[in-house]
Amino acid sequence: MPKIDAKENVISLENWTTLNDTIMGGTSQAGCRQTPEGLLLEGEVVADGGGFVSCRSPLLRPPLDLSAFSGLRLAIEGEGRTLKFAVACSDGLMGLTEMIPGGLRWVTPVPTQVEGTSVVEIAFKDLQPVVRAKPVGLPLRFDSSAITRLQVLHSRFDEAGSTNPGFRAGAIRVLIHSIEAYQ
């Protein structure tokens, strides 16, 4: 179960699973697994019929409370791709947004360097609500005290539903070294 280490503010990368475009008829094949260096997502991204691969945390029950923090910092090797970081949280609306097919997620782009480790800070205030890569225009509020899932994706669509200029089909290898909360 992902948790935050109170001493170092690090989110656990244990028990994350793969979610690929095959859930919507795509043919991308990728898997994620824990390695000594971090969480590794590797496989093949196929643009037609979906165009995404991802690693996501288990459902966080009880939700993770990060209200004492401003955001999350990722240390990630991403081959120069623009990834997406998605966060699900309880909505305070009796769970109505969790009933939306595809689920409401709070998303932001994660640009990476071609070589080496990119360190990217994701401020909670910059996360945008989306459902299936489409922006949501409802007046929703991100709740950092009730985070229910984290996800790292490589998708042909960006957070606004447009074509991701940092998308690249073919072999993929993304290594998430760490995710930590910052103040």
Mind listing the pLDDT tens digit for each residue in 143-156?
999 999 999 999 99
Q: Is the pLDDT of residue 108 over 60?
A: yes
- Cα(first)–Cα(last) distance of the chain, in Å? 23
Predicted confidence band of residue 126 (pLDDT cuts 50, 70, 90):
very high
Half-sphere exposure of 91 (CA within 13 A, CB side): 17
Q: Residue 85: which CATH number?
A: 2.60.120.430
CB within 8 A of 157, min separation 6: which ones?
Answer: 51, 52, 133, 163, 164, 167
One-character DSSP codes across 54-77 = EEEPPP-SSPB--TT-SEEEEEEE
Calpha distance 152→146 (Å, rounded)? 19
Q: What is the pLDDT of residue 135?
A: 85
CB within 8 A of 30, min separation 6: which ones?
Answer: 18, 20, 41, 42, 43, 44, 45, 53, 54, 172
The tally of domains found in the chain comes to: 1
pTM to 2 decimal places = 0.90
For residue 135, give its domain range: 4-182
Q: What is the pLDDT of residue 2?
A: 47
Q: Which amino acid makes up residue 147?
A: I
